Structure 1
Amino acid sequence: MDKRKFKIKTTFIDREQELRLLHNYLEAQPNSILFLYGLKSSGKTTLLYRLCDELAEDKSYEIKFLNLRKIFLDSYEDFLQAFFKTRNDRENGLKVSTKRQYSMFGRMLKGKKEDPFLVMEREFQKLVKKGRKPLIIIDEFHKLSGIYLPEKQKTLITELMNFFVAMTKESHLCHVIIASSDAFFIEEVYNDSKLRKTSAFQNLDYLSYADVKEWLFHTNRYNEVANFSLNENEIELIWETVGGSPWEIQYILERLFEFPLTKIVEKIKRERVAMVADWCFQDETNERKRLMKFFLDHSVQPIQAFDPSQRSILGEAVHDNILFYDPVEGAYGMQGKSLEWGIKEYFLSKFI
């Protein structure tokens, strides 16, 4: 438990439906890989940590949680070192079970010659015989892209995916949850016919309007703040500016100790206009500007709305966190409500 004192704390806002979906996946015999994807900073990592906290009370689970965002990975050996280490890999100030480690492997490989996949499979078999349920969670899985096995002919991601298919759909030994904020990685997986037939996909969106209202009406409860409260008009202004983006809402709350809400909102809008302007300015062909006009009236557009020749420019927008791509729904959308404001204000500028 985090005993440090702050004037405002971060919080976990109700994700009951999403947690229920994760629990439903785990309550069935392993038969597929679950991919968790979604907008940047939609709370995927926090949701997975909350799941682990809830499962910590259930002694039947053995969990390996690997957050690749916290690990420098440059080689296959780096991955092995990270995957087979034993320590509590917990953070973020959520409830922590001190008696439990989110790591099921109690030793390193014997040298570098032992097949790590065989080591994992044997461990899973031992756990299953004891009535335990192995669970592997890897966050930011796409960070393994570009890492090859020692013989340099096979990629680590490909071999891991094949192994996870074998452990879930074929052997039913282990549940696997993979989270990624990289839309193109999810697209690659989704378009792979073999993986699509062995995987489930869950999109984690931003918070709903109802959840945001519940949070902001009760900041004293959720953020342990006693210095201010928000009225309905202020809550509406926050929602209209950043929508249900948890990080941006927290950003606003932290600045309310020093600045009025209207000033904070104006600053956010100016920053988003500058972001869109800078992105469009880097393109001498004006293709980026023309693309942005697609999203003036509708923040989400089906892939059919675009010409195949625009695929490259769409890819740039996704890579630069201007747009989000959902390959399962086949749609492109803005990376949050604040960027919708950025586009609208950009095209209203007298300089455009």
Structure 2
Amino acid sequence: MKRIEFHNREREKKEIIDILNSEPSLITFVYGPINSGKTTLINYLIGQLPDVYVPFYVNLRGRFITGYEDFLNVLFEIDEGGAIDNVSDYAQSFLKDLKILSGIPIPLNLFEQIFEKKDKSKDMFRYIERFFSEMPKKRVPVLILDEMQVIGDLKIDGLLIYKLFNFFVRLTKELHLAHVFVITSDSLFIEQVYSEAILSGRSDYLLVDDFDYEQTMDFLDGYGWGEHEKESTWQGVGGKPVFLVKLINAKISGKKIEDVLSSMFIRRTGEITTRLKLVKELGDEMVIGSKHCDVHYEKLVATLKMFVDREKIGMNDVDEVSKRYLVKENILFVDPLTAMIAPQSRLDMLAIREVIRDV
């Protein structure tokens, strides 16, 4: 299989580099539709960073986190090499030959001490702050948490995520000690974050969207595609990177682009049809805060019908339960900064229109 090269993203790269070149002062939330290339962008930039930056990349994707122990095991990279009590010496020595770390390094004995404490979060935050502050003065920590919404509902003497936000504010705005990036494809999570008073004036937001038309054409040009194939692809799936990669690999393996596009459309149409059918026949519910809310088939259909002749609608144009349900099912995407709702991709938009036509 041919390796797919990283493409473009000049605007997003510049924004992130500008953030890194300034004193740490804000938490940066990197958000966008599913599979729009957020993690790919961050991983690419991590590999390009000058040695002055020390990235700590914590990936929560696919991790089953039900309690504090699970979270600590993901957040920290445990060093079983020996018992070390001096955090300053450890921070200085550990980073000499390392560039990318998949967690905050911690000696096993200190990790076990944190587990023994009643207020684990206080000791966890104290250790991280001390570790960052004791790093060589010419090195700048960059803490990156990918898919942080995984712990959104985890409670440890209150919601853990609020404790983390408070700590991130301390690392950035108060101490100017580390850059903090939070990556998420969950637009309900980013909507919740955007409305939090605790983050007002203490956070910024970077949208990583699907490729636009020109980016898509340039991307496919790099693989020798003809004009008809490029136009068919744009009309069929738009500029979602994961779909473009799928089509490139399909063409390399000898498949016809039109056949693959047709298959993708039929599959997505079937998925949305099945989801609506289940709600119609069996019902469903959403938990919003502490309230259990019924999901209504008729309201879902009414919401989706708005996209028959529009690509975007306002957040206030749809009831909250239907909005949250369709976002949770990865059919719609909410951008709280613009207060707009859109299908997760052009493929989703076309599938929605096909499904609604038959309802």
TM-score by length of 2: 0.83
- 1:126 paired with 2:125, answer no
- 1:299 paired with 2:298, answer no
C-alpha separation in 2, matches of 1:104 and 1:74: 20
- 1:211 paired with 2:215, answer yes
SS of 2:24 mapped into structure 1: coil
- C-alpha displacement of 1:196: 2.5
- 1:47 paired with 2:41, answer yes
> Does the 8 Å contact 2:144/2:181 carry over to 1?
yes
Give me the identity figure in percent.
28
Unmatched segments (≥5 aa) in structure 2 = 80-96, 281-296
> Does the 8 Å contact 2:308/2:353 carry over to 1?
yes
TM alignment of 1:120-159, pairs within 5 A: 120-127=128-135, 130-149=137-156, 153-159=157-163
TM-score by length of 1: 0.85
- Give the equivalent residue in structure 2 for 1:105: 105
SS of 2:153 mapped into structure 1: coil
> Does the 8 Å contact 2:54/2:142 carry over to 1?
yes
- C-alpha displacement of 1:305: 2.6
Unmatched segments (≥5 aa) in structure 1 = 1-5, 88-97, 220-228
Number of matched pairs: 316
- Give the equivalent residue in structure 2 for 1:75: 67
SS of 2:269 mapped into structure 1: helix
- 1:239 paired with 2:246, answer no
Query: 1:19 aligned to 9, 13, 24, which one?
Result: 13
Query: 2:266 aligned to 267, 270, 277, which one?
Result: 270
- The one-letter amino acid of 1:264's match is V
For residues 56-93 of structure 1, what are the alpha-carbon distances to aligned partners after superposition, in whole Å with 9 as ceiling and x for unaligned?
xx221122100111533222112222222158xxxxxx
> Does the 8 Å contact 1:63/1:104 carry over to 2?
no
- C-alpha displacement of 1:34: 0.2
- The one-letter amino acid of 1:297's match is D
- Give the equivalent residue in structure 2 for 1:255: 250
- 1:174 paired with 2:178, answer yes
> Does the 8 Å contact 2:172/2:179 carry over to 1?
yes
Give the 3 Å change call, closer, same or farther, for CA 300–124 of structure 1 in structure 2: same
> Does the 8 Å contact 2:238/2:347 carry over to 1?
yes
- Give the equivalent residue in structure 2 for 1:116: 124
Give the 3 Å change call, closer, same or farther, for CA 30–49 of structure 1 in structure 2: same
> Does the 8 Å contact 1:84/1:107 carry over to 2?
no
SS of 1:105 mapped into structure 2: strand
- The one-letter amino acid of 1:190's match is Y
C-alpha separation in 2, matches of 1:147 and 1:163: 16
- C-alpha displacement of 1:13: 1.3
C-alpha separation in 2, matches of 1:343 and 1:259: 26
SS of 2:258 mapped into structure 1: helix
